[in-house]
A and B are shown apart, each in its own frame.
Chain A
Amino acid sequence: MGLVVAPLALSLLVACGKPATQEPIKPQVAVYANSSEVMVFWDPSESF
């Protein structure tokens, strides 16, 4: 279903107004940079 934008909580990165300063990715760790709060419907019966 189509709600693209979840509630936007400011990330620390934005609050600081600085470029990303994370450590480089470890070889076997994948990183997904998501534009909003990660939408996890914790109850799998209630997902949409």
Chain B
Amino acid sequence: MNTMYETLLRYDPINDKFIPVLATDYSKSADGLEWTFHIRKGVKFHTGNIMDANAVKYSIERTSKLGQGASFIWDAVDRIEVPDPYTVVFKLKYAAPMDIVASSGYAAFIFDPQAVQQHGEEWFKAMHEAGTGPYMLESYDKAGDLVLTRFPDYWRGWEGKHFDKVVFKQVTEPTTRRQMIEAGQADYANQLPLDQIADLKQNPKVRISVTPSFQNLLGMLNTAKKPLSNPDVRRAISYAVPYQDIISSVMLGYASQSRGPVPKGLWGHSDEVPQYTYDPDKARALLEKAGYGKGGLKLLLTCTSGDEQERRVAELMKASLAKLGIELEIRVMNWEQQWDLAKNPDPNKRQDILLFYWWPDYADPYSFLLNLFHSEQEVVFNLSYYKNPEYDRLIEEGHQISGVDRQQAIAKYVEAQKILVEDAAALFLYDQQYVRPLAASLQGFVDNPAYPHVVWWYDCYREEAK
């Protein structure tokens, strides 16, 4: 999507800077309730129509109105004004960080209103696009390849070195992805098992990119069902996880144990948030206290098929819990089945532990804190089913001031995370690094943790090392 569509800004979290894209600059009022973005002139959509402030307003209002995906990022917007064709003013209900919102890798794309008005609301779903990005859709085969080709009128132009086309191939078998990289048939492959990385390092035609990410693995604990409705049992499980074994044997060191849900490197992460360490004696004592000292507990853990790392984490947990007399059943399911089970109307019919990853919709800790742990009327992603009014209050207050006083927001977010850890609302397993195998000839690749799994193809080109 980020190859076909663009946003007002792009965020560089390493340097905490915003890069102008469809907006050339922006400013905010002292109270953080009014944000003004100046829109770049001379930008065309792939349809040939001109991108302007009205298109920005339309795109964001439509996204907010549909209420799908990550549209919640615009919740602070009260109204959008267009004082002239190249100025957009956001009037907010509270001081949300609109620069972060406007640079989101999801739900912040600007598209051609005329395409919707002309072809109807279902036009996009019939596999059309109307972005401003450097590459436009050439073809898409559901079973195979997505082919994007240069947009000749792209506003940044085509001087310098760029690819003509970008082909996305669906290659489910990791060995095949590896072979493609080794044989020079692919420039980039995602999710290669880490044990294959060591071999690839020896190959001069392959380069391994290792960068910190905002992606972490969590074990969501079913707080709405016995026995994990008892915080002491959840704490016992938290002490029974062999974190360092997981990091060394499953992640081969390409990860660090999480401190709460906000990953290291993202603002809102704090070393003040405590960690559980592997301590079977403490786990036993807590189980004893909870009335499960003699064992006999059975728990169901679900994880996602096709993800070898999740499965291996589950196996290590199973072995560790067995030593405490807890029988862990591991059920590997595809995501839809797993999610259906997790949303069963009866909490007692749901899993006890669910392994899944989170990365932020936008580079804001609120993405983790809201989606994963804020009370929900209807189950979506709070798969611990955690409900705590004090926690909810803290993150809402933090969010509402984060556009004007980030430090105060962080203080509230850290407090909220301490509550989560104290309540053992989830297993905070690890913050992972992204380990990407690339063709050694691929130049210009930058792994931006705010945009997981996005390759900025316009910035890339191929050149053999001299």
Contact surface of A with B, Cβ cutoff 8 Å: 1-14, 19-20, 22-25, 27-38, 40-48
Contacts and interface: CB of A to CB of B under 8 A. Distances in A.
A28 to B, nearest CB: 4
Given A4-B357, A5-B304, A25-B187, A30 B172 contact: no
Contacts of A3: 335, 356-357
A45 B66 contact: yes
Interface stretch (B12-20, B160-168, B275-283, B414-422): B160-168
A9 B69 contact: no
Given A45-B107, A48-B107, A7 B59 contact: no
B70 A11 contact: no
A12 B457 CA distance: 26
A20 B189 CA distance: 13
Interface in B168-192: 168-177, 179-181, 183-191
B462 interface: yes
Contact of A35 (B62, B177, B455): B177
Interface residues of B, number: 75
B374 to A, nearest CB: 14
B109 interface: yes
Contacts of A37: 142, 170
Nearest to A35: B191
B188 A47 contact: no
Contacts of A28: 163-165, 462
A1 B371 contact: yes
The dominant DSSP class at the A interface is loop
A19 B185 CA distance: 12
Interface of B: 1, 5, 59, 62-63, 66, 68-71, 106-107, 109, 111, 124-129, 131, 140, 142-144, 146, 163-177, 179-181, 183-191, 215, 304-307, 334-336, 356-361, 367, 371, 381, 442, 455, 457, 460, 462
Contact of A34 (B169, B360, B367): B169
A23 B167 CA distance: 13
B177 A4 contact: no
Given A40-B1, A44-B124, A30 B187 contact: yes
Contacts of A10: 172
A4 B357 CA distance: 7
28 contacts: A3-B357, A9-B170, A13-B172, A14-B176, A20-B180, A22-B185, A24-B184, A25-B187, A28-B165, A29-B165, A30-B187, A31-B169, A32-B188, A33-B171, A34-B170, A34-B171, A35-B177, A37-B142, A38-B170, A41-B69, A42-B127, A44-B5, A45-B111, A46-B68, A46-B107, A47-B70, A47-B109, A48-B68
A13 B178 CA distance: 13
B336 to A, nearest CB: 7
Contact of A42 (B125, B190, B360): B125
Given A1-B361, A35-B306, A47-B70, A11 B334 contact: no
A47 B176 contact: no
